[in-house]
Amino acid sequence: MIRAILDLLFVLSALVSWPVLALFFLFKPRWRRYLGLRIGKPPCFWRTTELRPIWIHGASVGETKLALALKDSLSKAMPDIPFVLTSLTPEGLDLLKDKSKGDFAVGMAPLDFSPIIDMFLARVRPRVLVLVETELWPNLLLSCRAADVPIVIANGRISDSNFPMYKLFKSLLAPIMAGINAVACQNEIYRKRFEYLGVSRGGLAITGSMKFDLSSPEVKENVSEVISNFKSGRPLIVFASTHQGEEKAAIDVLQKLEAKGFRPAIIVAPRHLQRGDEIAELLQRSSIPFIRRTQNNPLPSAKILLLDTLGELNSCFSLADAAFVGGSFAEVGGHNVLEPALAEIPVLFGPHVRNFRDETNLLINVGAGFSVKDENELAEKLAWLLSDPEAKSKAGLAGKNAVLENKGALTRTTSLIMRVLMEG
């Protein structure tokens, strides 16, 4: 009955919003190409096998990185079991394809409409569904329960901003949440929230955050050479995972640091690569010499490198003197601050970090992270770090040690999933 109501709501919302959706897909051809993967098309590299696969799903690039780490950990424990990994965004799917090389199937998660989900489940026949963080799609959860597919949430969290909405619909969510077999919660606060919403207490475990367990940054030699040539002996500052407005902040910071006598090199790495042309136009209007990584045209006078490529950010961190993590001036909620910390550099971020509150607080407490309210304060803090190499080095080392000391969640989550598989 609940599935029928949800399907009806899905159809009604699709009918109401179809003009907007039509325009979206008209102007977003990249998303149009991936639509088939969301309406039941088999995953890429899919091979029918007698062994039922483990299905791991992560929404975007950050969750997809965790899904890949979890896949590697589970593969070591169960080397013969196949895997299907899915994402919700083109960027996430591109990352999966790049890492797969055909070794595991990759795709987009099916739309939350029971006929499409049922078709996907019939084709893939997963032995368990592992959702990274908080992908609580009601039809997906109900369909898996109806098909006797166990559900595990890895790196489980319910954010401060989302919890009030979940509380409002608690009575509707309770029968859905009751179908979740286990949740690997990041902390006690999240454990209590999952229990309040209806997950069985016996299925809840506090495992910590898997973000601390991501392997050491992957540094690509060919990329490092390009970045080193661009840096050319100058202090290098990376503006990572930027959103609209934060590229302008990078320009302002560059000009403020130059006014203080510094000669920094700036890398701007947008969160969404499709914004590359928009950012390039902004840089052109600023009259600041810049180069685009995709064009690979050397420009000795370049002060900014626009990193419009995927999978090269860690190589930039390895050569940087400091990093600003975006989505934190823009009211997005922040992005992963642990990757630059693991590269042993100071990490700076704006006030909007609700999605990474624990991680930013940890870095602040050990002296490795710095919260700044605007570009003026960011420029002042960077000027201090660049003028005091000892303080910069001390902050970088403290951040790396803090990340290493908090590892272990990946192993605990792997054990929890294997327990669910054995019980099933």
Per-residue pLDDT of the chain in tens (424 residues, 90 and over written 9): 677 777 677 677 767 776 666 666 666 666 666 676 777 676 766 666 678 999 999 998 889 999 999 999 999 999 999 999 999 988 898 899 989 988 899 999 999 889 999 999 998 999 999 999 988 899 999 999 999 999 999 999 998 888 999 999 898 889 999 999 999 999 999 999 999 999 999 999 999 999 999 866 666 777 888 899 999 999 999 999 999 999 999 999 999 999 999 999 999 999 999 899 999 999 999 999 999 999 877 778 899 999 999 889 999 999 999 999 999 999 999 999 999 999 999 999 999 999 899 999 999 999 999 999 999 999 999 999 999 999 999 999 999 999 999 999 999 999 999 999 998 6
pLDDT digits (tens, 9 = 90+) for 176-188: 999 999 999 999 9
* Sheet hosting strand 151-156, strand order edge to edge: 105-108, 83-87, 54-57, 128-132, 151-156, 182-185, 204-206
Instruction: Quote the CA–CA distance of 99 and 106 in Å, as a whole number.
Output: 10
Task: Map residue 79 onto helix, strand or coil.
Answer: coil
Q: What pLDDT does 297 receive?
A: 72
Q: What pLDDT does 51 receive?
A: 86
Closest CA to 378 of 233, 237, 178: 237
The answer to whether 47 and 126 are in contact (CB under 8 A) is no
Q: What pLDDT does 42 receive?
A: 67
Closest CA to 303 of 234, 354, 240: 234
61-77 and 409-423 helices, crossing angle to 10°: 60
Within this chain, domains 36-208+408-423 and 221-405 share the same CATH topology: yes
Instruction: Quote the CA–CA distance of 118 and 140 in Å, as a whole number.
Output: 9
Determine the Cα angle at 97 with ends 410 and 48, to 5°.
Answer: 90
DSSP 44: B
Instruction: Quote the CA–CA distance of 307 and 133 in Å, as a whole number.
Output: 28
Residue-wise DSSP of 203-242: GEEE---GGGGSPSP---HHHHHHHHHHHTTS-EEEEEEE
How is residue 346 written in tokens? 């100071």
Architecture of domain 221-405: 3-Layer(aba) Sandwich (3.40)
How is residue 311 written in tokens? 């999978």
The answer to whether 113 and 140 are in contact (CB under 8 A) is no
DSSP 105: E
Instruction: Let me know if 396 is exposed, middle or buried by CB neighbors in 10 A (0-12, 13-18, 19+).
Output: buried
How is residue 387 written in tokens? 């003028």
The answer to whether 346 and 312 are in contact (CB under 8 A) is no
Beta strands in 134-181 (DSSP E): 151-156
Alpha-carbon distances of 222 from 145, 238, 303, rounded to whole Å: 47, 18, 20
Domain ranges of the chain: 36-208+408-423, 221-405
Closest CA to 363 of 340, 391, 383: 340
Tell me the CATH number for domain 36-208+408-423.
3.40.50.11720
Beta strands in 207-356 (DSSP E): 236-242, 265-270, 290-292, 304-306, 322-325, 347-349
